[in-house]
Amino acid sequence: MPSDRRLHPVWRDGGAPTGGAAVQPTLDDLGVPLSDVTFVVVDLETTGGRPVDAAITEIGAVKVRGGDVLGEFHTLVDPGGPVPPFIQVLTGITTAMLVGAPRIEQVLPSFLEWARGSVLVAHNAPFDVGFLRAAATALGHPWPGFRVVDTVRLARRAVTRDEVPNYKLSSLAAFFRATTTPDHRALDDARATVDVLHAILGRLGPLGVTYLEDLETASDPVPTDVRRKRTLADALPDSPGVYLFRGPGDEVLYVGTSTTSVRGRVRSYFTSAEKRPRMVEMVRLATRVDPVPCATALEARVRELRLIAEHAPRYNRRSRYPERMPWVRLTCEPYPRLSVVREVRDEPGSAWIGPFASAGAAQLAVEALHEAFPVRQCSKHLPLRPAAGASVCVLGEIGRCGAPCVGGIAPAAYDEVVTAVRGAMADDPALVVERLAARIRSLVAVERFEDAAAVRDRMAAFLRGAARTQRTAPLARIPELTAARRTDDGGWELVLVRHGRLAGTACTGRTDDPMPVIASLRATGEHVPTPVPPAGAAHPEETDLVLAWLERPGVRIVHVEGEWSCPVRSAQRVDPVTAVALDLALPPTGEPEETATLAPVVPLRPAHTA
């Protein structure tokens, strides 16, 4: 049956997902316990140290599971040449002993089949596995892709140098009192390695190494107290979603997301793959991890943003305070001016661009507009007629302002300036780019490179803010849009967007009709109040994520209320560096505004009828 998922508020006070029953994780979700893993402990004897100029002379292996020996594999191998004298002394294997022994092309297929589906273990695994892989490659046999465990690396984690002089097999076998003494013969060395492996696993168990996934990173240089917390990931789902690390007081320390496996991503925090000191500090404080399973990667990313904005976790550095992202406003008054504000309000006649990442970036955009247009820069309210006794400011004296405060510019002429500013903000940035690019070139000509770079930065800040508005505002104006994209298994991933906010998601199977699911999604999706344009109803980064998904190849617009379009001559098409370096010739201004419809509405069908 098709699955219908709506985005709801996701937490109760206790931290459990709302609107859903508790799910008992399966053994597959938890990982593979070491007691259920089949290990093949292998040892080789060879005629030298490198596969390029040496060959295998003996293979010995022991298959074990849960501490029980399931079988053994042992054979001599004819290397196709004499055994060097020092190898004969070391191993006791002579050239005469190998006469009549099978060649590696006869032995290797049998060994690979015998070991298939197991985890290979060896003492100094790169040596033994390297010879086996080289032989498989030379014979044209595909390598089965075994998981490999190296007891040397595990021993360095489990045994201190105060306990053993070195990590040779003979030293470890003696320390752990192995039942077989290694003697440089393959089967005896493999048997000794089995005892060493079991002893090491006994030491690592109290450190939280109880699953195969733990063992694969057990040799990482991770603090013991951090590694012990790997059990926090045991019950997490192996699917896309969001995870919340919680502290001793149930506070949210950190919110993260995984588009593939929450369990796998959380496990990485307890290995050497995590190198950020603040994350190690966070893990030390964490007492549990709460998952929020998601149907799709888009839903996971959106939920992450919302939870970060809701909880403002101290270990998250981005997206915590969306309400602090500023806008640039062109005011609506007799003589409009530019200002940096924190909120978009319903002010007919005003123009806006943003939001910006910081107040500094918004101020750079204001400076770019001031450099391109003689719009006033004072902050006081000016009457339509100049007040008696008003005096011109310095900017008016040097021609950087029309000086409406003293009647230096007629209202109609100032309206023309404001119209040009409004057009640059909302539709076409050509005049800003042309004027600032000319200024940059003139500064470069007299080798004032730092000043030129400052002008370039102002241009770039303005273009980023204008482009963001021109890209997101059209979507924010749309009351409802439904889109779909084929999934890898032939089904449909469905998305409901209202005023730029993800209002719901759903997935269907390959043979399911998606249209009834879309109807249900539209009927049950989140209600989103109409925002004040050009602001959307979501965190700006959420709208960016939705737009990125909608613009992916293969996405189909199924239903849209109104029109989804953007200006043809928008700020998105201009790169500030290219505009200056190549003296970009922009289209002439003053032409009627054009729009481009972004996508047609198309019907959907199940995969078997498409």
| Domain map (residue ranges) of the chain | 11-23+223-320, 34-209, 324-471, 473-609
Residue given tokens 């273009």 in the structure block: 463
Q: Which residues contact 106 (CB under 8 A, 6 or more apart)?
A: none
Q: Phi and psi at residue 163, in whole multiples of 5°?
A: -95, -35
In tens, the pLDDT along 462-475 reads 999 999 999 899 99
In tens, the pLDDT along 4-35 reads 333 432 332 333 333 333 444 443 444 688 88
Per the CB < 8 A criterion, the answer to whether 264 and 238 are in contact is yes
Q: Which residue, among 585, 580, 574, 569, has the nearest Cα to 438 in the 3D structure?
A: 580
Of the two residues 162 and 224, the one the predictor is more confident about is 162
Percent of the chain with pLDDT over 70: 83
Of the two residues 570 and 204, the one the predictor is more confident about is 204
Q: Which residues contact 149 (CB under 8 A, 6 or more apart)?
A: 39, 119, 120, 121, 122, 125, 197, 215, 216
Q: Averaged over 582-597, what is the pLDDT?
A: 43
Of the two residues 174 and 386, the one the predictor is more confident about is 174
In tens, the pLDDT along 213-258 reads 777 766 666 777 887 888 899 889 988 999 999 999 999 999 999 9
Of the two residues 25 and 148, the one the predictor is more confident about is 148
Please, which residues bridge with residue 596 across strands?
Answer: 566
In tens, the pLDDT along 369-379 reads 999 998 888 87
In tens, the pLDDT along 64-96 reads 999 999 999 999 999 999 999 999 998 999 999
Q: Averaged over 417-421, what is the pLDDT?
A: 92
Q: Which residue, among 373, 431, 363, has the nearest Cα to 402 in the 3D structure?
A: 373
User: How far apart are the two ends of the chain, measured CA to CA in Å?
Assistant: 19
Q: What is the pLDDT of residue 11?
A: 31
Q: What is the pLDDT of residue 214?
A: 75
How big is the CA angle at 118 (ends 114 and 123), to the nearest 5 degrees?
95
In the predicted model, what is the mean pLDDT of the chain?
A: 84
pLDDT exceeds cutoff 50 at 494 = yes
Rounded CA gap, 149 and 128, in Å?
Answer: 11
Residue given tokens 């303005």 in the structure block: 462
Residue type, 91: T
Flag the least confident range among 192-196, 201-205, 218-222.
218-222
Q: Averaged over 411-432, what is the pLDDT?
A: 90
Residues noted as catalytic: 184
Rounded CA gap, 493 and 556, in Å?
Answer: 10
Q: Token digits for 270?
A: 């307890």
Q: What is the pLDDT of residue 206?
A: 83
Q: How confident is the model at residue 286 (pLDDT cuts 50, 70, 90)?
A: very high
Rounded CA gap, 455 and 315, in Å?
Answer: 35
**Can you list the pairs that 95-103 forms with residues at least 24 positions away whose Cβ atoms lie under 8 Å?**
98/57, 101/75, 101/76, 101/77, 102/75, 102/76, 102/77, 102/78, 103/77, 103/78
Say if 11-23+223-320 and 34-209 have the same CATH topology.
no
Does the model's pTM come out above 0.75?
A: no
DSSP assigned state of 83: P
Of the two residues 547 and 576, the one the predictor is more confident about is 547
Q: Averaged over 447-460, what is the pLDDT?
A: 91
pLDDT exceeds cutoff 70 at 388 = no
pLDDT exceeds cutoff 90 at 190 = yes
- Superfamily of segment(s) 11-23+223-320: GIY-YIG endonuclease (3.40.1440.10)
Q: What is the pLDDT of residue 577?
A: 52
Q: What is the pLDDT of residue 5?
A: 36
**Phi-psi bin for 52: left (phi > 0), alpha (psi -120 to 50), beta?**
alpha
Question: Tell me, which fold does domain 34-209 have in CATH?
Answer: Nucleotidyltransferase; domain 5 (3.30.420)
pLDDT exceeds cutoff 60 at 291 = yes
Rounded CA gap, 402 and 405, in Å?
Answer: 9
Please, which residues bridge with residue 481 across strands?
Answer: 497, 560
Of the two residues 597 and 519, the one the predictor is more confident about is 519
Flag the least confident range among 1-15, 143-157, 402-416, 515-529.
1-15
- Residue 117: Cβ within 10 Å count: 9
